[in-house]
Amino acid sequence: MALAPAMTVVSCVIAVVRCAVMRGTVGERRMNHTLVLLVVSVLAVEPRAARALGYSAAFGFQLGAAAVVGAGAAGYLLTTTWLAMAVRPQATYAAAGVCVAAMFRFGADARQAGAVMTDYVGWTVLAFWLCFVIVPFWCDFSVLRACIPELRGRPQRREAVTYGAVGLSSAFASLFKLAVLATAVCLAADRRNGLTELLHAHFIDGLRLYTFVVAVLSAVSVVSAELGRYRLSRQLNRLAPLWADVTGACPEVVLPAPAAVPGDPVRYRLHRTIVEIRDCMVILSRYADRDSAGRGDDVLARAVRLARAADAKRNGDPPVRGRPAGHGPTHDLFDETAELEQLARVWPAARTIARGPIPSS
């Protein structure tokens, strides 16, 4: 394959970038494990790597196949994260480790003969490929078993697309493994045919292509995540003036910054900013006078009441009974963010109005 070196380089670069910037969640780390093991499998079968490190092509092929088994286990755990399936990662990796050990045991004769497992004959070939497919095949079966009931439950469109894509991927992967087993049976019986020649000629190229596709798809998730962080950063910047003013009046709600932030720091800061603004609004509601901002319940009127309440508390004025300052009907974090962004947009004008004379009713 003419583009094989370029695809390998791109896959390696994407794997390095992902491991550097995408490791905050369990799903991201499992995606990294899957991609790194696939890249290792591709590098192991590269002739240049074999010459540089001094191992045979036969050993490199088996090492690459072992890395594919590990990648299959990591990919299964990644899928269980997406589908919220309860599994034991240690058991999955232990099963993969047993299969890898058996693969190297059954591949010993081929290594001594200097032959790769797609061009070797004998019943040890069948045992090798059985160990190669058994864990990934079980993983595919488990994923299909989880996806089918979810699809029967008539999920929403986005969930249906996710379950359908994962299920179809597992089904096609299972068909590939069955084809590998059929080829292994032919090699075990020393019956070469078009299927065995196809596996021997294109197994490594197919592995490179599969790794490249996985790497590119994972790169899309990196770009999407970075765009999401950029959007969250913009929301955080828009809320900053509002947060600074209300927490200046209520410094007691500001918590000390933690030494380590779990997950995405930007998302954590945005969530914390929203919570602290809301806490301030609850406190300032005791200082909010509905009549002081004139009539109306629009965003600007609520922002003016909040600004005057903040000034009153900051100046040491006694609290008055009034409706909660700046509150609106919100249901979740997205609604909270949207409402506070509306307040933040009119906040400069609200501060100007709040510091002017109070209109008579």
What's phi and psi for 258, nearest 5 deg?
-70, 155
- The predicted structure's pLDDT at residue 293: 47
Q: How far apart are CA 27 and CA 225, in angstroms?
A: 13
Please report, as a single letter, which amino acid is at residue 97: G
- Report d(CA 337, CA 12) in Å as an integer: 38
- Ramachandran bin of 261, using left for φ above 0, alpha for ψ from -120 to 50, beta for the remaining angles: beta
Distance CA 252, CA 264 (A): 25
3-state secondary structure the chain: CCCHHHHHHHHHHHHHHHHHHCCCCHHHHHHHHHHHHHHHHHHHCCHHHHHHHCCCHHHHHHHHHHHHHHHHHHHHHHHHHHHCCCCCHHHHHHHHHHHHHHHHHHCHHHHHHCCCCCCCCCHHHHHHHHHHHHHHHHHHHHHHHHHHHHHHCCCCHHHHHHHHHHHHHHHHHHHHHHHHHHHHHHHHCCCCCHHHHHHHHHHHHHHHHHHHHHHHHHHHHHHHHHHHHHHHHHHHHHHHHHHHHHHHHCHHHCCCCCCCCCCCHHHHHHHHHHHHHHHHHHHHHHHCCHHHHCCCCCHHHHHHHHHHHHHHHHCCCCCCCCCCCCCCCCCCHHHHHHHHHHHHHHHHHHHHHHCCCCCCC
Q: What average pLDDT values come out for the chain (361 residues) when binned by 10 residues?
A: 80 90 82 92 88 90 93 87 82 92 93 88 90 84 78 73 75 81 86 80 83 85 76 90 92 80 76 90 80 61 88 85 52 75 90 73 48
Domain ranges of the chain: 6-223, 250-354
State pTM to two decimals.
Answer: 0.68
**Residue 106, pLDDT score:** 94
Enter the tokens of residue 223: 């770009």
Residue for token digits 């299909």?
A: 144
C-beta separation of 35 from 214 below 8 A: yes
CA distance 169 to 189: 31
Among 5, 23, 4, CA closest to 225:
23
Number of residues written out for the chain: 361
Q: How far apart are CA 147 and CA 141, in angstroms?
A: 10
| Distance set, CA 335 to CA 157, 299, 338, 340 (Å) | 22, 14, 5, 8
User: What local confidence, expressed as pLDDT, does residue 297 receive?
Assistant: 60
CA 98 to chain CA centroid, nearest Å:
28
Task: Please tell me the predicted confidence (pLDDT) of residue 294.
Answer: 46
Say how far apart CA 3 and CA 5 lie, in whole Å.
Answer: 6
Q: Quick one: pLDDT at residue 101?
A: 95
